[in-house]
Amino acid sequence: MTFPAHISLTELAATIRAKQLSPTEVLRAYLARIERFNGELNAIVTLDAERAMDAARAVEERLARGEDVGPLAGVPFAAKDLEDVGGMRTTYGSPLFAEHVPAEDSINVARLRAAGAIILGKSNTPEFGAYMQSSNAVFGATRNPWNLDRTPGGSSGGSAAALVGGLVPLVTASDGGGSIRHPAAFTGCVGLKPTFRRVPQRPNPILTFDDTAVWGPLTLTVRDAARLADVTFGPHEEDPMALPAHGESYEDVVEQAPPRLRIAWCADFGHFVQPDIAREVEAAARAVQALGHAVEVFNEPLPFVGKAWSLTSVVNEYLKHGDALATPELLDPMLRQGFERVRRQAADDLAYAYGRRTELVRWTARAFDRFDILMMPTMPLEAFPIGVIHPTEIAGRPVRIHESFPFTHPFNLSGHPALSLPAGRTDAGLPAAIQFVGPRFRDDLLLRLGRQFEQARPWPLAPQRYL
């Protein structure tokens, strides 16, 4: 059988289970693609081919014996380099951890392995996941498969570039302010930020009060995201904030068309959007209406919570890595400034941040009283150039940092699930994306709507060069 690098995750798993391809054949094929393309993408930053091949042989033997190895049997994956893999270097994108090798897997990685998936390496990320691009002092910058001069976004940019570049069929990703959805939008794939703590987290290195950052699916298709939800969602004793199980299989319901939904649509929610992105997502909104949903323009601006989000995030990061100030010369300057501010005025900053967060939650409560789904661009701009820490303009118009991702971080603070899907291309040929935001705990509804939209608006899984 000819190896299709961009086969969907569910199809690949079925092909392996049917013994049309063996786990070792699949792994060799992806290792060959890493050899061919990773030099230009710089997406995979740690590779353990020998251990991966041992695991592939073990899965192959179990399949030959007729054992049920799991729903991801023989599928290779790369873990984002913010996530621990026992016995494999995990740097968090920081020189402080350049040689760090954790002793155990994160809960997310452990669940993927228990489902039969095979870890082959780590994907690039900015230091501690703090930026909109995936570059750091340890490994350098990851590049976007659609344009090598552009970033794939952050902080799961290495995962997105590896997925769309066909280096691996499965990746892990996390989202504290848009870090699943930014790369999904910039590289043209599917990104689900679940309801907070659908995927449990092992305290790393300590249990913080962080209730904004989540792990979730970054995939080529919505059905793939549903399978990952089934594998990775659910409670765990080490995470007191983890949600109980949903109660039914996401993959079982993803093909069921949702009921007629009341959908609030706005092209900007009070923020400036690159005109060709606005054009593409408006066309996507018309397509959603054509699917039979009640789409209504909703012009009430989103409250500005960028500063509140930043202050909350940096306090949580300080709780985990504040001892890095003992060697400030090894810490990214912007992170260092944030940590120093936490030491001076954390109490005042959190009082401000939670006041603004309360206003946001009241806004979302009013919105979901009227609507089932909120619909907007995922990002107000296309993928920006490599070497830029964060955009300073959109289509020639100056913007502050939080104005460059105004549609993602509010829903980390509010806790609502959000799904990013490809919606078209910009004038430069880069992906544009639409975001659906759903009621808390209705990840299933988002996946059903996303699958319906995906079938109505098919999208190329990768640029032609990587197919």
Active site residues: 80, 155, 179
Partnered with residue 376 across adjacent β-strands are: 435
Cα separation of 418 and 400, whole Å? 23
Strand arrangement of the beta sheet that strand 373-377 belongs to: 218-219, 190-193, 418-425, 431-437, 373-377, 262-265, 294-297
Cα separation of 122 and 187, whole Å? 19
Partnered with residue 174 across adjacent β-strands are: 215
How many Cβ atoms from other residues are within 10 Å of residue 166's Cβ?
25
Judge whether 96 and 90 are in contact, CB under 8 Å. no
DSSP state of 102: -
The first and second tokens of residue 198, run together, are 């659908």
Angle of helix 275-290 versus helix 443-456 axis, rounded to 10: 100
**How many residues make up the chain in this entry?**
467
Tell me the pairing of strands 118-123 and 76-80.
parallel
Annotate 230-278 with DSSP letters as a single string.
HHH-S--TT-TTPPPP-SS-HHHHTTSPPPP-EEEE-SSTTS---HHHH
3-state secondary structure 347-367: HHHHHHHHHHHHHHHHHHHHH
DSSP state of 418: E
**Which of 247, 183, 273, 284 has the alpha carbon at shortest distance from 443?**
247
Tell me the pairing of strands 173-175 and 190-193.
unpaired
Partnered with residue 434 across adjacent β-strands are: 377, 421
**Which of 240, 220, 242 has the alpha carbon at shortest distance from 169?**
220
How many Cβ atoms from other residues are within 10 Å of residue 272's Cβ?
18
Q: Is 411 left (phi over 0), alpha (psi -120 to 50) or beta?
A: alpha
Judge whether 434 and 424 are in contact, CB under 8 Å. no
